[in-house]
Amino acid sequence: MCQCPIVSTGCQRLEVLQHTSHLSWRVRICADLATPRLPREALDGRAHWARWAWRLSDPWELAAKATKMFSDVFPDVRVARGDPVEVSYWLTRNMPLGAGARQELLAAPTVVQRLRALCAALEAKACTILCCRVCNTQLAWIEEVLAMTDDGTGGLFVNPSGYVHDVVAVRCGDPEQERINLIGITSSEHSWFPGYAWTIANCFRCGSHLGWHFTALEQQLPQQFYGLRRQALKV
């Protein structure tokens, strides 16, 4: 029988109500409300509140602010444009955060709260350093995050066994710096990045599986980078 794993990229939140079987859940879709523009009265200064006060709760303003802050940190990554809801999900997907921190962003009940949390995280440089989730070994700095896919700084990839990995691409230091151990042989089979071979990468200190080291098979490509599993990281 042919197995055909399907991977979807989430752009909407849902709440798991019941785990009914190994591959079956009952869920509730958490719909985001439409994001209106500021009322005309606010734009032309006739509203009771000053324009700057309106702007604190304007999803379009917040989306523009979060986008600019993200671009200042990652100038090489092309940020999605459009409705604030889409922008908020794109930024949440592409912030180099661990799974727990990203879950907190997704728990924000409205787009305004999600965008405010994103701005706060960027302002506080909450994602400055990526660490091993188990032993806190520092693995990469935020400046080392790369845009290796059209989707941004990483993406969802499925291996031949059907396991889905949420991977963030980074240009972190070499294994000699006692951060990452490369394990086993290098292979180009089923590589998620065309033109690259992969080697398993584990934490140097605790041995947990961090992701993979990718090395270019063609000269014109960036020569190496790491694809780190978001589940293995914390910030």
Query: Which residues contact Zn ion (rule: CB under 5 A)?
Result: 132, 134-135, 137, 203, 205-206
User: Shortest distance, CB of residue 25 to Zn ion, whole angstroms?
Assistant: 31
Distance from C-alpha of 61 to C-alpha of 40, rounded to nearest angstrom: 15
What φ, ψ does residue 53 adopt, rounded to 5°? -70, -40
Cα dihedral angle (43, 46, 50, 53), rounded to 10 degrees?
Answer: -50
The residue among 85 and 97 lying less far from Zn ion, judged by its C-beta, is 97
User: Shortest distance, CB of residue 83 to Zn ion, whole angstroms?
Assistant: 39
User: Shortest distance, CB of residue 213 to Zn ion, whole angstroms?
Assistant: 16
The residue among 183 and 206 lying less far from Zn ion, judged by its C-beta, is 206
Do the beta carbons of residue 203 and residue 180 sit within 8 Å?
A: yes
Which SS3 state, helix, strand or coil, does residue 68 take?
helix
User: Shortest distance, CB of residue 168 to Zn ion, whole angstroms?
Assistant: 16
- In 3D space, the residue among 43, 87, 44, 38 whose CA is nearest the CA of residue 65 turns out to be 87
The residue among 116 and 234 lying less far from Zn ion, judged by its C-beta, is 234
The residue among 43 and 135 lying less far from Zn ion, judged by its C-beta, is 135
